[in-house]
Amino acid sequence: MMYTDLSGLPPQLRSLVESEMQPGERITWMEQPIPSRMARKTLPIVLFAIPWTAFAVFWMAAAGWGTAKAEDGHGLFGIFPLFGVPFVLIGIGMLLSPLWARRNARRSAYVITDRRAILFTAGWSGSVTVRSFGPDRLTDLRRRQHADGSGDLVFAQDIHRNSDGERHSADVGFLAIREVKAVEELIRGLAHKVVR
């Protein structure tokens, strides 16, 4: 199924897609990520957040009880339990990551034109990152497909290092889309047109 109608997009995203089009460029396919699939990708974060948050709350309660017992809550030690607040807030943020992933999926879009593939990816802060892939950058595709035909079509990987110097990679492409195999064929057709 081919989607080329932008009317289903939120107004701000539709305006961004329209402004990105070059003169004479034609949209051949457009879709948004499946929100529930994007939310499922956050499951490891949620599983990590459960013990993290539980321990942070337990630590604050124990520290509060201990300082109240020791000094009746007076003095400098009375604020000691508050050091756990940032850890609790981080834990709550991680527990809410499926909601953020759903929200970002509704504010993102993937577009194939007769010239390129474009990713409009919503960020956590409300911004949208636009990445364009010309046909020469669409030759090394990886497809992950689920039983219902949905899946990920990966064009590249972003590699970055954390503060410890460890390398981490993130897939770049059309993630959590319907009919991923049909979309792969469209991309391969676009790449083939230029190679010839």
Task: Indicate if 170 and 121 belong to the same structural domain.
Answer: yes
103 in any annotated domain: no
Tokens of 37: 């699939």
**pLDDT value for 190:** 86
In this structure, the answer to whether residues 18 and 73 fall within a common structural domain is no
Same domain, 113 and 149: yes
Q: Structure tokens of 73?
A: 């809550």
pLDDT at 64: 77
Residues 115 and 91 both lie in one domain: no
Alpha carbon distance 117, 135 (integer Å)? 8
Same domain, yes or no: 136 and 161: yes
Of the chain, the percentage scoring pLDDT greater than 90 comes to 58
pLDDT at residue 48, as a whole number: 95
Q: The CATH number of the domain where 136 resides is what? A: 2.30.29
Whether pLDDT at 73 is above 50: no
Domain count, the chain: 2
pLDDT of residue 72: 53
The answer as to whether 134 is a domain residue is yes
Q: How many CB atoms lie within 10 A of CB 36?
A: 13
Name which of 53, 8, 47, 54 is nearest 30 in CA terms: 8
Inside any domain, residue 102: no
Q: In terms of residue numbers, what domain contains 145?
A: 6-33+108-195
Amino acid at the residue 153: L
Evaluate whether 84 touches 63 at the Cβ level (below 8 Å): yes
pTM value is: 0.79
**Please, what is the Cα angle at 178 between 30 and 3, to 5 degrees?**
25
| 88 and 150, same domain (yes or no) | no
pLDDT, position 69: 63
pLDDT at site 1: 42
Residues 75, 115 within the same domain: no
Asked if 21 and 117 sit in the same domain, the reply is yes
> Does the residue 1 lie in any domain?
no
Do 144 and 169 reside in the same domain of the chain? yes
Percent of the chain residues past pLDDT 70, beyond the cut: 88
Mean pLDDT estimate for the chain: 86
Q: Does any domain span residue 23?
A: yes
Contact criterion met (CB below 8 Å) for 153 and 183:
yes
- Cα 134 from Cα 118, distance rounded (Å): 9
**H helix runs in the chain, sequence order:** 11-20, 35-40, 43-71, 85-95, 97-106, 180-195
Q: Could you tell me if 22 and 114 lie in one domain? A: yes
Over the stretch 79-127, which tens digit does the pLDDT of each residue have?
777 888 999 999 999 999 999 999 999 999 999 999 999 999 998 788 8
Where among 97, 116, 139 does a domain terminate? 97
79 HSE (CA, 13 A, CB side) = 2
Mean pLDDT value of segment 46-75: 79
Structure tokens at 112: 């194939």
Together in a domain, 23 and 90: no
The better pLDDT of the pair 141, 195 is held by 141
pLDDT tens figures, 168-191: 888 899 999 999 999 999 999 888
Domain identity same for 19 and 116: yes
Is 38 inside a domain boundary?
Answer: no
Residue 24 lies in a domain: yes
**Residue 125 located in a structural domain:** yes
